[in-house]
Amino acid sequence: MKPLVSQLWPQFMADPDFAACFGQVIVEHARMLRQDRQVEFTLRSAAPLDQNLCARLLASLQPDYEGFELKIKNLFGYAMLDEHALRILLEDMKRDGVPINGFLDRSSITITGQNITVGVCHGTKFLQEMGFEVTYLPVDHLGHISLEDLEKAIREDTILVSVMYVNNEVGAVEPIEAISQCIKKKNPKTLFHVDAIQAYGKYKIRPKKQGIDLLSVSGHKIHAPKGVGFLYIRDGVKIRPILFGGGQQKGMRSGTENVPGCVGLGVAAREAYKDFDARIEKLYTLREHLIAGLKPLGGVTINGSEDRTNAPQIVSASFEGVRSEVLLHALEDKGVYVSSGSACSSNHPGISGTLKGIGVKKELLDSTIRFSLGDLNTEEEVDYAIGVLGELLPVLRRYQMK
């Protein structure tokens, strides 16, 4: 049999872009082989596919597969939602786009925090372009909105308040039930949307008890396939679809259903709440161990709360005198993978609005990285990452000061 490169040589000659991409793959593979180890602290960006899902996904691709409806119904129990609550399975960024853009005939103002995700931000910007008024509430140094500010901002014509349950950059956790009570007290007609993408599987979410009208979740954060999520809609809430066609999913998301994605999401949702207390305790222990190891390195600032009022899976740290992009690549060379911001904004380079909002010093805005912890991480991996940072930081600081 001919070597792979020989087999692909005609395509190399005919398509320079293909050749360039293939070369990059070979270089990256060789670089990974040279590394003694790989430590992933980017699991909240896109968690790897749960290996237990693979057989189910392959089965769902067969033409005689009949488990689709059953899997959707099972999501009710897996998600800890009320019996008739889970209505729609939506794909990709449309999870947040539907609740944000589905009320254009009802009012003139939407309220959200400064620490929103790109998906929500684009939805609110679209409303502004259409002539609607949007209020962005400030956050405190820990990343929380003020209930007093929220109450003042709600008006008679306020249609929607959208809040992140857990901020994806610093891990700030909002008091969802208290926010709902504040909203309904000021204006019972105002709807409450919660972006629970970082909270699902980390907190026991009960929309009816917490007063949530709309709640969006993304599959790839909980080891499900990419490109699938779900939207909870409270009984009685009416919203417009943003996609039209065959009327699938009760007309809210027309188009042939993504059966493998839905199956994978159902299984992952079930797994997300297995051994819940033990898993959360492990994540908090890892987070505390990581923070305790970062502080002695010097010139390190932990953004957000350091205690257990913060989400268990996120650590945001600023490193004085080192640009985040430089540190990120230096860590990669040692087999440690982190991120310099949220994955949602990786295609939109710029200074984080969340970091600005919580008052991170100007000189540290471009020196911040995020560690995202997951079930697969270990204390030994945390120790390795801390040791690597201890070696790299003095060198990088000397280099960048020259």
Q: pLDDT tens, 269-279?
A: 888 888 999 99
Integer angstrom CA distances of residue 207 from 203, 210, 308 = 12, 5, 22
CA distance 145 to 12: 54
103 contacts 239 by C-beta, under 8 angstroms:
yes
pLDDT in tens, 187-216: 999 999 999 999 999 999 999 999 999 999
The residues that bridge with 230 in the sheet, in sequence order, are: 89, 217
The span from the CA of 224 to the CA of 260, in Å, is 10
Strand, helix or coil at 400?
helix
- Region of poorest pLDDT, from 103-107, 232-236, 242-246, 308-312: 103-107
Mean pLDDT score, 294-320: 96
Per-residue pLDDT for 83 more than 50?
A: no
pLDDT recorded at residue 76: 33
Going by pLDDT thresholds of 50, 70 and 90, the confidence category of residue 330 is very high
Alpha-carbon torsion angle 275, 281, 287, 289, nearest 10: -120
Long-range contact pairs involving 136-142 (C-beta distance under 8 Å, separation at least 24): 136/111, 136/112, 137/111, 137/112, 137/113, 138/114, 138/357, 139/113, 139/114, 139/115, 139/172, 139/354, 139/357, 139/358, 140/358, 141/358, 141/359, 142/170, 142/172, 142/304, 142/305, 142/358
Average pLDDT over residues 373-390: 95
**Average pLDDT of the residues in 34-61:** 62
- Give the C-alpha separation, 152 to 160, whole Å: 14
pLDDT digits (tens, 9 = 90+) for 3-25: 444 454 455 455 555 445 544 54
* 209 vs 307: CA distance, rounded Å: 26
Mean predicted confidence (pLDDT) in 86-112: 42
pLDDT of residue 90: 29
Of the candidates 121, 182, 262, 344, the residue annotated as catalytic is 344
Percent of the chain with pLDDT over 70: 65
Say if CB 287 and CB 313 are below 8 A apart. yes
Reading the block at residue 284, the tokens are 């908090």
For residue 291, pLDDT beyond 80: yes
State the Cα–Cα distance between residues 339 and 317, nearest whole angstrom. Answer: 11
Cα–Cα distance for residue pair 231/124, rounded to 1 Å: 18
Residue 123: is its pLDDT beyond 60?
yes
pLDDT of residue 201: 93
Q: What pLDDT score was predicted for residue 121?
A: 62
Backbone torsions φ then ψ of 254, nearest 5 degrees: -65, 150
pLDDT-derived band of residue 109, with 50, 70 and 90 as boundaries? low
Q: Is residue 344 among the annotated active site residues?
A: yes
The residue type found at 303 is: N
